[in-house]
A and B are shown apart, each in its own frame.
Chain A
């Protein structure tokens, strides 16, 4: 069986790639994709820990299902926001959306 550490390293790498996408991309839709990658990295961790340490309970799988549910809700609201912003401002460049900057 593959050691647990490999899965954790894979999840860490995926999380860092997603974080880079969130912080470095200009387009808001690309930022949302980065968030989805980060959530998936968390799910890999949850399932890996479930498989290697907590087999008699299904906590890991249950948490992963909740993470997926919240991710679906987040994606729906995020896309609605992008469409609304695009309609009013004609852009979804996150650098152009700095109205709250003091």
Chain B
């Protein structure tokens, strides 16, 4: 049963991801990107990381995909479907990425990963919250500073100059 759900979710994710990189219309690319993000959220639920699945939908679909749609709307003329999608080296790049996948797949299937069976603790989300103000307090604060700096920087970069 789980493997059937995994196959469906993986199919949605990979098919949408392929459409993202090959679609002629940039707006279609973004809509396929949203479908891929939903597939990945489903994968997270399958891995019993429900909090991450919710964060994925909120941040990636709710914020990042919307930001990309804004970028496309604000730079409207660039989404002309008549323009070539790929640069001149796309054949070389396609061969390289296919080879990279073959190499990664060979490594991933050959290594005996030390899998440990076990049950998810019932209070995993509470523990994650406690970890963020305990063990990971410093990285957490640095991440928030990074977000503030990035937002201020984005405003300054995008501001209209007279």
Q: Chain A: residues with CB nearer than 8 A to chain B?
A: 1-2, 4-10, 12-21, 23-27, 29-30, 32-34, 36-37, 40, 43-44, 47-48, 50-56, 58, 61-62, 64-66, 68-77, 79-84, 86-87, 90-95
Contact = CB atoms under 8 A, between A and B. Distances in A.
Contacts of B2: 1-2
Contacts of B96: 23
A79 B104 CA distance: 31
B17 A18 contact: yes
A25 B37 contact: no
Given A75-B68, A95-B87, A12 B116 contact: no
A72 B63 contact: yes
Given A75-B63, A79-B67, 15 more contacts: A1-B2, A5-B108, A9-B105, A20-B97, A23-B93, A24-B21, A24-B93, A29-B78, A32-B68, A37-B17, A40-B37, A51-B120, A71-B60, A79-B71, A93-B78
Contacts of B155: 80
Interface residues of B, number: 86
Contacts, number: 233
User: Nearest 7 pairs between A and B by C-beta?
Assistant: A73-B150, A21-B21, A80-B154, A24-B90, A80-B158, A12-B104, A16-B101
B69 to A, nearest CB: 10
Given A68-B55, A68-B60, A79-B71, A92 B78 contact: yes
A43 B52 CA distance: 9
Given A17-B21, A36-B60, A69 B143 contact: yes
A74 B33 CA distance: 17
B131 A62 contact: yes
6 contacts: A27-B83, A47-B44, A61-B49, A68-B60, A70-B146, A83-B158
Interface secondary structure of B, over-half rule: helix
Main secondary structure of the interface of A (DSSP, over half): helix
Interface string B13-52: 1100110110000100110010011001001101111011
